[in-house]
Amino acid sequence: MAINAHRQVPSDLRQMLTVARYEVFKHLRSRRLIAILVIEVFLLAIMLSLPALLGRPYSDDPAEFVHDVLAFTFTNILIILGATMFAGDAICSEFQSRTGYLLFPNPARRSTIYLGKFASTALIVFLIVSVWYWVAIVSGAIVTGGVSVLAIWSYALAVLFALAASSIGFLVSSILKGSTGALVLTFFLLFMILPLFDLVGTLGGVEPVPSITYQSGAIDAVFMTPYPQSYVQYANESLGLPFNIYFFYPSVTSSALVMIAYIIACNAAGLMLFKRREMIG
């Protein structure tokens, strides 16, 4: 008797979730996630114990407590490290290590594979940012007896920045051939190159609105009450310098909109490049 039963191909959503699940397992095997969580715990332990070690009282304001513990510099570096480690080589590693020969022949769209990979990275960077913020927020609630809405706003902006930075990593990974080059370029784009353009624009009196690293400044500025406004220090008159000094602060609205634009634009471009890329060799 002939057997007419056919195996039904899973839906695109189910395939995407399967790709995301195995990508998370891959990251766990590489121990990158464990390493960055260990760094987080180490930094949080230091920042939480620092006032006690120095014999200083903890702040009784929930927003100030969280701001003192997190410190924008550490938050920024952790997000850039997370985006680099989990997005920088997400696409190009399939071509460099030839694992695409096993992945691509499966009955799954390349868009499904791309979105599954990005979903796994988004989940991991969300976990990294959430651990960083909520340990500080819960500690602040225990010490001060309250939770600040400013800390929640900062947390939401930090999550958006992490997703936008990861989107840049995916775009870089879709362009370059080697993992090392993609990881290095992603890190230096976010840590040095874009901040350098921010500095040049600031010195020239031009607000660097399109820059994601400039817009990430709202993560720290949102803690200030009232919210800081941009201003100019006329240093050529008051200090005799050959230039004026400009201080720009991105608004919360512009920061959120620019980061969302990066997420959409970088992933659209990255997906288009991924679809056109071929396994050679």
Q: pLDDT tens-digit profile of 221-268? A: 999 989 998 877 676 666 666 677 788 999 999 999 999 999 999 999
Distance of alpha carbon 255 from alpha carbon 246, whole angstroms:
19
Distance of alpha carbon 234 from alpha carbon 231, whole angstroms:
10
Q: How far is CA 142 from the centre of its chain?
A: 28
User: What is the average pLDDT value for the chain, to the nearest integer?
Assistant: 89
The values of phi and psi at residue 80, to 5°, are -65, -40
**pTM for the full predicted model:** 0.91
Structure tokens at 96: 């460099």
Which residue has tokens 């992490």? 162
Distance of alpha carbon 122 from alpha carbon 20, whole angstroms:
10
Q: How far is CA 84 from the centre of its chain?
A: 9
On whether the CB atoms of residues 108 and 202 are closer than 8 A, the answer is no
- Does the structure show a pLDDT above 60 at 5? no
Structure tokens at 42: 């180490």
Q: Which tens digit of pLDDT belongs to each residue from 61-82?
A: 999 999 999 988 899 999 999 9
Distance of alpha carbon 64 from alpha carbon 151, whole angstroms:
9
Which residue has tokens 């989940």? 123
**DSSP letter (8 states) at residue 167:** H
Say what percent of the chain tops pLDDT 70. 93
Looking at residue 1, its pLDDT comes to: 47
On whether the CB atoms of residues 279 and 98 are closer than 8 A, the answer is yes
Distance of alpha carbon 93 from alpha carbon 182, whole angstroms:
9
